[in-house]
A = this chain, B = another copy of it.
Amino acid sequence: MAVDTLETRELRYFVAVAEELHFGRAAERLGMAQPPLSRAIQQLERRIGVSLLERNRRGVSLTGAGEVLLHEGRAALDATTAAAHRTRRAGGADSPGGPRNRLVLAVKAAGSHELLQKLLDAYAAAPDAAEIEVLPSGLCEQEGMLRDGRADVALMHAPFNSLAGFDSEELMTEGQIAILPAGHLLAARKTLSLADVSDVPDLPLARWPRHGTYTPGPGPEIHDQTQLAQLIALGRTVAVFPDSARAWLWAEHTAVPLTDAPPVVTHIAWPAHSRSLALAGLIRTAAQL
């Protein structure tokens, strides 16, 4: 094989090891035994002629080149699975009616329903409107959905999602609020600052995954919005959300505006190289909202 050609399998293996920093766990995640994984990584290092991992006395760490390959390899794997996903959709293998003109729009499940509804209504009125499948995603997963081709287009929220590599159009800007248990001391305040809510001893800030991993901290790890709502209602945590989150607050919650939180900008984003006419129509509609 040419020395500048990596196999998808090799990239998958390396990314797994680089993320786990542990051959055993990585092998388990990959559903294989540890020795062939070790060997595959060694072959990879020999092939590209670069050392990717430091094997220390206890465990593994990334070299500089390893960090580059982790980063670039993830992008390459995303592009590869995106090719598979989009091809399958274009062929209509997952839509029983055959290859229809259909777009998959990824949205944050906890996001503003209002903006989405306006967009869908406006687009449905367009003359050549394609069918839109709305794909609700977890708290910050639209970005991954778009990168690996599960979606054709997404509503994303800067600065939480990175728009790098996508084309995008700005739709809306809003402030952020702190969502507190209604009975809490801070809930009585008219406004709050980030410092006010980030270091409350009895109310640790909720954490949710960014790009698959949780930031370390004392607060609870959040998997979905309902769980978060419950934890807040129980007085166990506090969360910071865009203003439109008011739509799903419970009676047990209190929203207090944050004065110094960065504004959240909602964009409609799509792969920069996309050539879909249906997508172009949707974007035009969105830009005119």
Contact = CB atoms under 8 A, between A and B. Distances in A.
B93 A49 contact: yes
A79 interface: yes
The SS class assigned to the A binding surface is helix
Interface residues of A, number: 50
A280 to B, nearest CB: 13
Contacts of A257: none
Interface stretch (A83-91, A110-118, A195-203, A258-266): A83-91
Given A71-B275, A164-B272, A273-B164, A87 B8 contact: no
Contacts of A88: 4, 48-50, 65
8 contacts: A3-B84, A48-B84, A48-B91, A48-B93, A50-B90, A50-B92, A75-B79, A164-B167
Given A49-B91, A64-B91, 13 more contacts: A4-B84, A8-B8, A48-B88, A49-B93, A63-B91, A65-B99, A67-B90, A69-B87, A72-B83, A72-B87, A73-B83, A75-B83, A76-B79
